[in-house]
Structure 1
């Protein structure tokens, strides 16, 4: 047996003589314009998330897009904390000729007033930042980087509505906080009976806290909805109510855990060195220039702590908004089943448009009434052939 391949070929079927022609390259395969496997390659799973996964996703968002997230947070933190410092400075300065913090240390009412004002401004900043970080969180969910310029381009058209929605939420919560304690304030100002004042306080303050917490949680998802879905102020608040209803306790629990982590592991630890420097260098009651320098050190500490920790709070709100859409509307399934040949929209926020099958905010899905039964016509008798007869 021979090993020559020419021995087993038919005549004339062998390779052509002379130099062989170069092979013709095959046409390159046309790559699909949209690959859902690449789109879903993020570090945060695109499915309904648990509480621990929401918290971890907020940290992932900061780690993956540190420049964009911390840049936006720093801008908001500077505005909020400087406003708090200016209010504190003029409040202290208006107490007398000397700029001393004695009214703050001697009057419990002044301390509560300044603390409440700072808390409200911080809550407003968290709501504002949750809307600003919504597009960045969306891109992180899909494994897509986000720059500071891209984040600004997404949020700039909706910035007035975002500020309006944040102010509306704060106004509603303040109204809910103030109305139940009006009887207590009136009785205290008019010098009414002590028993009636105590009873009004016992009833009013718990009701005020409960109503404030209930309304804040109910509308907290409005700010991400403003930016991600390009809605108006009223429409976004209806949208938040639509997403949170029947899941209020889970939403409240997630936000409460987030607040505890932020306060006890963030602000206290990060602000402690600045507080020590403030007390050591300027003392507990600085005056004049020392007061200005003391407030400057305190402001710097608050800005650093707020910049590093508040994106965690705002990121949890933004990711929880996405989680609720996946749970209620199947947003994850809609994105995963997008046809491979369909290109993604030029505007990334187009991916977050609600499906036509989702009922609009404030309206429940209407059930189609059952169709009335159709009248049945009697069937004509079948004629029998003559062969069937007996």
Structure 2
């Protein structure tokens, strides 16, 4: 008899070996995935099925986030540009043969740094909302429950700060090898006086990065389930990182491979989605460009209309493709979290028990106790 690790492996229940030559029973599937340890096809197919069944709340929340974030980013850039406007021309176009004065360069540099930090924070918060959205949608998709835009919007925003914290800490720790390599290389370059010495050190940089990148990738995969832990278990950032490490331990290569495959698949499909919009946008602009006046007069109304239509088509294509790419990648990661818990903590059996008791909402959202290898509750871990 085969030795399976999911519920029912040693009896005549679903997922186990057939008894006396009988057919293997199918695993129960109340939602988008069968309730058993997942194969690659289950994870990829479950991600597609979740997007297909719950595309309205996913698209709605992502579009709402973009509608809030893009104007805020534009406002930040506009305020900064207005604040240093009088310094821009002297800093970037000084008189011939003269260096720009420090009283013009310093304000531009300071404004650029502030804008970069603010845009980074805003972008991370927006990404955190989307990263919180996908596990929340998946929780309902796994148990076969319906979703609404309002519930997903509120749930995503409520967990976004903790998700952002986990993402920031994970990126900081995973990026520390690269930061350490740069911290070694930059002082060496600054200490070298000759151009030949600096050129030699420039060749050393790829070696340092090649040594640091494998460790950075290893750490990044170990923390890859943290967002799902934050949303589905209500954990804080540090607890989520530790829990992700525990879930990934022993299955690093499998999770790494499926994550990479999911990212490549999402990127390829998003490119295919965006391509028609870009092609139509370019062709929409060609007639207007051919009719552009040659007498030096201003642009015609047709040219302006063509440019606007082309820009809008490319913008729509980029937005649609980005929704799919981000959403699909996050769903793959969340399904890997569910899969690890079904393999290690009896999550499938707990989900079925909660569904039978009419309590499916609590099963996926309770963290597992440290001393208990098989929690009573499903998707939350605590039971």
Give the TM-score taking structure 2 as reference length. Answer: 0.64
- CA-based RMSD of the aligned residues comes to 4.3
- Contact preservation (8 Å) 2:69, 2:122: yes
Greater relative contact order structure (CA < 8 Å, 6+ sep): 1
For residue 226 of structure 1, what is the aligned residue in structure 2?
A: 230
For residue 11 of structure 2, what is the aligned residue in structure 1?
A: none
1:336 CA displacement:
2.6
For residue 54 of structure 1, what is the aligned residue in structure 2?
A: 43
Which protein has the larger Cα radius of gyration, Structure 1 or Structure 2? 1
For residue 321 of structure 1, what is the aligned residue in structure 2?
A: 337
Where 1:157 maps in the other structure, the secondary structure is helix
CA distance in 2, matches of 1:48, 1:223: 21
Match status 1:309 vs 2:325: yes
Where 2:58 maps in the other structure, the secondary structure is helix
**Aligned length in residues:** 298
Q: After TM superposition, list the pairs within 5 Å mapping 1:164-313 onto structure 2.
A: 164-191=165-192, 193-194=197-198, 196-198=200-202, 200-267=204-271, 269-271=273-275, 273-274=277-278, 277=281, 280=285, 297=312, 299-313=315-329
- Contact preservation (8 Å) 2:341, 2:347: yes
- Contact preservation (8 Å) 1:183, 1:200: no
Where 2:158 maps in the other structure, the secondary structure is coil
Render the CA deviation track for 1:251-290: whole Å, top value 9, x for unaligned.
Answer: 111111111112223136515633773695799xxxxxx9
1:237 CA displacement:
0.8
1:308 CA displacement:
2.9
Where 1:267 maps in the other structure, the secondary structure is helix
Give the TM-score taking structure 1 as reference length. Answer: 0.63
CA distance in 1, matches of 2:309, 2:192: 40
Change (3 A) 1:40 1:307: same
- Contact preservation (8 Å) 1:274, 1:301: yes
1:145 CA displacement:
1.3
For residue 105 of structure 1, what is the aligned residue in structure 2?
A: none
Render the CA deviation track for 1:183-235: whole Å, top value 9, x for unaligned.
Answer: 33334444462465145313212133223322221111111111111111111
- Contact preservation (8 Å) 2:351, 2:363: no
Where 1:44 maps in the other structure, the secondary structure is coil
For residue 352 of structure 1, what is the aligned residue in structure 2?
A: 365
1:133 CA displacement:
1.6
For residue 137 of structure 2, what is the aligned residue in structure 1?
A: 136
Render the CA deviation track for 1:356-378: whole Å, top value 9, x for unaligned.
Answer: 45369xxxxxxxxxxxxxxxxxx
Gaps of 5+ in 2: 1-27, 93-117, 290-303, 375-383
- Contact preservation (8 Å) 2:131, 2:163: no
Gaps of 5+ in 1: 1-38, 101-116, 284-289, 361-390
- Contact preservation (8 Å) 1:131, 1:224: yes
- Contact preservation (8 Å) 1:124, 1:167: no
1:309 CA displacement:
2.7
Change (3 A) 1:324 1:88: farther
- Contact preservation (8 Å) 1:135, 1:349: no
- Contact preservation (8 Å) 1:132, 1:151: yes
Q: After TM superposition, list the pairs within 5 Å mapping 1:152-167 onto structure 2.
A: 152-167=153-168
1:326 CA displacement:
0.7
- Contact preservation (8 Å) 1:229, 1:354: yes
CA distance in 1, matches of 2:189, 2:315: 35
CA distance in 2, matches of 1:79, 1:339: 37
1:56 CA displacement:
1.0
- Contact preservation (8 Å) 1:40, 1:336: no
